Structure 1
C-alpha cells in the first residue's frame, strides 16, 4: 500500500530519528526507484521502497527489530563484498582488513602493535619493522591468509613484541562473537551506529567511541565531519583507536 512521503515520520512511532538511502550502485533497482532505511523511537528499522515519477509513491517493504531503546542513528548500507582494492585514502581507512593496501597494513602496525600504551619500541625499530613489511609487499589479505609463523618471521620479532604481534594477528583473524555472546554484551562495547559488538573501537572528535569502519563510512556518507550522535559539525574526521575499550572487548570475549 502506497503512502504519502509526508507520512513517513508518522510511520515511525515518535518520529524518524535517522535515515539512510541505499547506494544506487549497491542494488539492482529501476532508475526511478530508491530504497530507504529509517530508524525511530519504537526500536524498529523499517525499509521503504520509493518510486519517483513526477510524484513520489512510498511503500513499506519490511520492518526489523533493531535493539532495546530508540535508534538515534542509523548506518544501514555497507559496501558490497566485491569492493575494489583501489580505494581513495578515506575509503582505505574504512575498508575491512581483506582490502587493506600496504598503507593499511602500516596503519595497523603503528596503531595496534608498535604504538600501543606501554610499548617500548623505539622509532628506528618501528621504521625497520614497517620497511620489512613493505619489502615483503604485505597486504591485508595476506595478514588474514598467510600462516602466522611466516608473518612473524617476516616481521622479525623477538621477545615481548613477538607475543604482542601474535595476539594482534589472532585478534585480526578471530571470528565474530556468537549470537548469545553478542546479545549479552554491555552497551559500552557496542557501536552506537550499528549497535553491534565492536572489533576496532575508535574515538571520534565528538568524544564518542564507534567501530572504526562505521564512523569513517558515516563521515564519507555525510560528506564531512558531522557527529552522528549530536548532528553537530566537528573540527575534523580523524579517529583514534580506543585502547581501553579494546582491552575490555578482548576481556569480554575471553570470558
Structure 2
C-alpha cells in the first residue's frame, strides 16, 4: 500500500518520521521480503531525481541514531528537522518517542507492549480475512481499542500536549510527529499538532499542498473508493454488452 501511495504522489521533500525499519522485530528473526526492497529502491530513486529525503529515526530503528548527519544514497539521517511550510509556518519534525515516559524509563515494558501490539495485528489480519468472505471492509482492532480504553485515550491526549509544548518552547508554530500510531491534525493551544499515523495498520500520511495546507490522507479509504469505482465501472460495462435474442422455432 505504501508503494501504491508513492506511485500516486510526488513531493520535493519527504520526511520518514521513524520506525521505518523494525529493528526490534529483526533481532528476533529476519524478515525482509521483496516489497521492502521495492520501497527502499523507490525512495532512493526519488533522492536520485532531486527530492530531499530526511530520515528521523524512532525507537524501533534507534540504531540509526548512531549515524546522524550521514547520507545514504541521498537520504540524510537527522535527529529532528525544521520544516517551513509554503505559508511560512515553522514546524518541528520529530518521531516523538523521547517524550514517551515508558520508552524512556521502562524499555522492557515498551518491548512487552510491542509483543502485545504484534499479537493484535496478527489477530486483526485474521479478523479482516473473515470479514472479506462476506464483503466486509477493513477494520482496525488496535485503533478501536485505543478509542475504547480510557487510559489509552488519556495517554494520547497527554502525549499530544507534551509535543505541542516542546514545539512552543523552541519557537515553532507546530509539530509533526509519529510514534503513537494515532493519525491526527488539530490545533492545541494555537499550535499545529500533526501526527502522521503509520503504514502498519492505518496506512496514513500527511501531505502539504502548494499553498501550505496540510492534509491527512487515509490510503485505505482512497483504495476502497478506487476499488468501488472500478467495480461499478466493470458492472456498467457488463450491462452494456448486447445479448443475442433467442431464436423462436
Instruction: Give the TM-score of the pair, scaled to structure 2.
Output: 0.25
